[in-house]
Amino acid sequence: MSFQRLAIIGLGLQGGSIGLAVQEFLPKIATTGYDISPESRARAAERGLVHKVCDTAGEAVRDADLVIFCVPPGVMGDAAAAVRDGIAPNALVSDVGSSKQAVAKALGEALPDHLVIPAHPVAGTENSGPDAGFAHLFRNRWCIVTPPEHTDLVKLSALVEFWETLGANVEIMTAEHHDLVLAVTSHLPHLIAYTIVGTASDLEDVTQSEVIKYSAGGFRDFTRIAASDPTMWRDVFLSNKEAVLTMLQRFTEDLTALQRAIRIGDGDTLFEHFARTRAIRRSIIEEGQDDSRPDFGRGDHEGVQGHTG
């Protein structure tokens, strides 16, 4: 492994999981970490998420040859600017954000003299904070790397090797394509989940206790997604708004078509649509991205896999 010293800025679910995974799978790499929350720093130290939890971001990045920002997209630029004076000139800068164009721009503007290769591990749970991380979060999950044009291929290969060693399957694509793909596979589903759960809680003729008591499996899955970190998802929608709005418009048109089919009793259209989407579910299971067992095999802590970013 080319990297010898890793600095993690942000010690929540993603940052904590990276720290624990590195200690398990890349034990020769020295890890430091920083979180803006004193409480999170204290808990990260108690759990041993990294070898050393630092009191400042500048201290954490000193001498690091790989710096990974694990903070919400909206503060990515501020977090990078805070380490500008302390980061080593040859350090590779990366992140775990789920909107790549905006994050790449923010990191590049804050650290113009450094090589920035954004990445997005498509893995997570609905939990957040330093208690949420675990070493196998990235096992058999995709990590999308979005290098800029004319990037250093040696550094790119090293970053790919890093994520593969943590258990991830790595895919390389442009930031623009990433944002479009994730808008439909992750961002729009989260927006729908937040909306459905909010609608249920606002109903006047159905009490909130009834919504909770009689929740069917589908609604329970929506509540799991809607329990994701509100700060991060606020920033995701704002930082990837063009792609999200494009997909939301397409979804609205498809929803209107289904609404019309129900209104006029067009059972053939409904059946054809449901049969086509059922096939997508089977393909996801065949690709190993979910489990066909009851409750999707989510009976243990590490089985509660999903995407939160």
CATH of region 177-303, choose from 3.60.21.10, 1.10.3660.10, 3.40.50.20, 1.10.490.10: 1.10.3660.10
Residue 66 φ/ψ, nearest 5 degrees: -140, 125
Average pLDDT of the chain to the nearest whole number:
88
Question: Where is pLDDT greater, at 51 or 284?
Answer: 51
pLDDT at 291: 56
- Say whether domain 5-173 belongs to CATH 1.20.1050.10: no
- Return the higher-pLDDT residue of 221 and 91: 91
Q: Using alpha carbons, list the distances in angstroms from residue 137 to 51, 125, 224.
A: 19, 9, 17
Q: C-alpha angle 164/305/47, rounded to 5°? A: 75
Alpha helices, DSSP H, located in the chain: 13-25, 38-47, 57-61, 76-81, 100-110, 153-165, 175-182, 188-202, 208-213, 217-226, 230-239, 241-264, 267-286
CA atoms within 13 A on the CB side of 146: 24
The pair of three-digit structure tokens given for residue 185, joined into one six-digit string: 């596979």
How many residues in total does the chain contain?
A: 309
pLDDT at residue number 309:
52
What does the DSSP assignment read for 164-202?
HHTTPEEEE--HHHHHHHHIIIIIHHHHHHHHHHHHHHH
Q: What percent of the chain lies above the pLDDT cut of 70?
A: 91
CA distance 286 to 83: 43
pLDDT value of position 48: 97
pLDDT exceeds 90 at position 26: yes
pLDDT digits (tens, 9 = 90+) for 228-265: 888 888 888 988 889 889 989 999 999 999 999 999 99
Query: What pLDDT score was predicted for residue 189?
Result: 87
Q: What is the pLDDT of residues 134-156, one digit of tens each?
A: 999 999 999 999 999 999 999 99
Compute the average pLDDT of residues 119-142: 91
pLDDT at residue 296, as a whole number: 45
Cα(64)–Cα(210) distance, integer angstroms: 53
- Label residues 62-81 b or e (16+ Cβ within 10 Å = b): bebbbbbbbbbbbbbbebbe
Indicate the pLDDT class of residue 298, thresholds 50, 70 and 90. Answer: very low
Distances (CA, A) of 284 to 142, 147, 178, 287: 13, 27, 18, 5
User: Where do the CATH 3.40.50.720 domains begin and end in the chain?
Assistant: 5-173
Domain with CATH 1.10.3660.10 in the chain: 177-303
- Where is pLDDT greater, at 283 or 38? 38
Q: How many CB atoms lie within 10 A of CB 294?
A: 9
Span 262-276, average pLDDT: 93
**Stretch 66-70: mean pLDDT:** 98
71 or 277, which is more confident? Answer: 71
Q: What is the pLDDT of residue 210?
A: 80
What's residue 306's pLDDT? 44
pTM: 0.79
Pair of tokens at residue 96: 């775990």
Instruction: Tell me if 103 sits within 8 A of 118, measured CB to CB.
Output: yes
Calculate mean pLDDT across residues 275-292.
Answer: 73
β-strands 119-121, 142-145 pairing: antiparallel
